[in-house]
Amino acid sequence: MDPIRFMLVFLISVVALVTTKANNTETDDVVWRERALQARQANQQAYEPNPHIILNHFNRHVHKAFEGYNSTRRGLSKHHSGPCEATNPIDQCWRCDPHWEKNRKKLADCVLGFGRHTTGGKAGKIYMVTDPSDNDLVNPKPGTLRHAVIQTEPLWIIFAHHMVIRLSQELIFTCNKTIDGRGAQIHITKGAGFMIQYVSNVIIHNIKIYDIKVGSGGLVRDSITHYGQRGQSDGDAVSVFGSSNIWLDHLSLSSCYDGLIDVVKGSTAVTISNCHFARHNDVLLFGASDSYSDDKIMQVTVAFNHFGKGLIQRMPRVRYGFVHIVNNDYTKWEMYAIGGSQGPTLLSQGNRFFAPDNRNAKEVTKREYTTESVWKNWVWKSEGDVLQNGAFFIQSGDPHHKFVHGPDYIPPKPGQFASTLSRHSGHLKCIPGLPCNNMSTPSRKRLMRDFKRLQHDPPAGISGAPQDNNIMLWNAVIFGTLLLSSPDDTPWDGGTFKLTLQFTEDYPNKPPTVRFVSRMFHPNIYADGSICLDILQNQWSPIYDVAAILTSIQSLLCDPNPNSPANSEAARMFSENKREYNRRVREIVEQSWTAD
């Protein structure tokens, strides 16, 4: 190509590139302006002009849930081995259902507070994320998280297996999405965070987000019909920007470049619940600019969260708006817990504030860039809070101000219950087929492993699983057709024999109590169904798991020990009259067909 022609082609290419970029920018402005306008209208509709309705609704549910929780605790021993512990109304709505995986969308019925109308992707299909990569930002690969969140239809997004996802740039959501991390360990880390911008109706549930970095920006697809140039992202874990009806629940958040959660630009109808925050400076920012007065419609509920180790400030820090901070557990902030400017309304109810040892940081509250003559008129109220280790909360506003008047007023659950209500905050380890319970003791963790093994590699002729809401009490079945090492003419053939296994917190150091529920006739089975088996007594070892226990009992049926009888009649008959013994066993088998 001659030099003149080359230069001409080069100039045409440059002009085309510049024109294309200008057109993209212009298109981006139009698209985002339209989204901002639609979001502003949605935010206005989501705003609750009578917030006392939300306060009463929330507190009523907490009182009701706590009564139910206490009823399950009565009569239990010091080492609790009873039903699933769901200690607040949001968790009680879904967590103790062992079939949560088959009814995932029930979660959308559980939100309380200002975000209570959030349904996420409930109206849509299930989308399974199968690929943790994030390599193509303009044309995301199907099966990736980025491909899921840009779809126009409502989606309930779940994960095929454990994943560590490093987002190359911020993850931009469309409306009506749920990210549901239950059933897998989902880590969002070492890359960019979540951007919920100018949308509505989003749920993010049960994932870990930490070590989030600043995204450099670039071309990023934000819907199936549009992509555009994005600037540098802030490095927040989750940014809620000009959006409404947002619910963030059971997230574990720590160590991000900027904030953990930002709620800004006129966002409203937001609930942040059951989250665990740790190792961070600027934790929660609600309203980012003193000049943006549209944040006056901001309404946020912060409930049942645990503010843990290594936090410095902003839990939250608020501009304008109304924030209900209720039944949270605060542990040793370094500067202050709750701050604000521009006259926000803050109602702190039923929280526990445990101050740091630093005598200069005992105050819960901090009014920023404002004189007392101004902030004394802001409505900041503390009701039912527990203040420990020298913590103190400076209230302001009319001392006679009441958020709710008259006989309809429902007080909060007091702060001494905040630790209980937030006990299971953060990411949960949910296993299909079991209640989504935090298995915090060694025995419960071991039983979870036992259950996984039975699910993935069950011995022939055996099944077993915990009862609906109790990991410490199992139901099991041994099928006579598949007895180990049994001859073809075994009298147990065709039977279905039910057992229960009751574990204690001493398991696996001590064996469970095992009994047949089905009627049995066997030399080594007592009349009450309990079993005379050496591994359940003096030969027990912690190496035995549930599968080994059931396999040993399975073998015992066809290979009894008449010299150590639990049923002397069966032992004598087995030794002296095998034909009659077999007839009696066949009667038991036939009864098992019709037993409940």
Active site residues: 532
CA dist 98 → 70, 92, 179, 206, 313 (Å) = 21, 12, 20, 17, 38
What's the CA gap between 332 and 343, in Å, rounded?
Answer: 26
Is residue 559 classed as helix, strand or coil in its secondary structure?
coil
For the purposes of burial, counting CB atoms within 10 Å of the CB of 318, is it exposed (0-12), middle (13-18) or buried (19 or more)?
A: buried
What's the CA gap between 331 and 226, in Å, rounded?
Answer: 44
- Report yes or no: 197 and 170 within 8 Å, Cβ to Cβ: no
What's the CA gap between 325 and 411, in Å, rounded?
Answer: 14
Other CB atoms within 10 Å distance of the CB of residue 321? 25
Cα within 13 Å of Cα(344), Cβ side: 34
What's the CA gap between 591 and 596, in Å, rounded?
Answer: 10
Q: Name the E strands within 79-237.
A: 125-129, 155-159, 163-165, 171-172, 177-180, 186-189, 194-197, 200-205, 208-210, 218-223, 226-230
- Report yes or no: 315 and 393 within 8 Å, Cβ to Cβ: no
- Report yes or no: 315 and 341 within 8 Å, Cβ to Cβ: no
Q: Which residues contact 473 (CB under 8 A, 6 or more apart)?
A: 81, 466, 467, 500, 501, 502, 503
What's the CA gap between 596 and 585, in Å, rounded?
Answer: 19
CA dist 290 → 139, 320, 322 (Å) = 38, 8, 15
What's the CA gap between 279 and 332, in Å, rounded?
Answer: 12
SS (H, E, C) 253-287: EECCCCCCEEEECCCEEEEEECCEEECEEECEEEC
Q: Which residues contact 444 (CB under 8 A, 6 or more apart)?
A: 437, 471, 472
Query: Strands 470-479 and 462-467, how do they pair?
Result: antiparallel
Is residue 357 classed as helix, strand or coil in its secondary structure?
coil
SS (H, E, C) 508-521: CCCCCEEEECCCCC
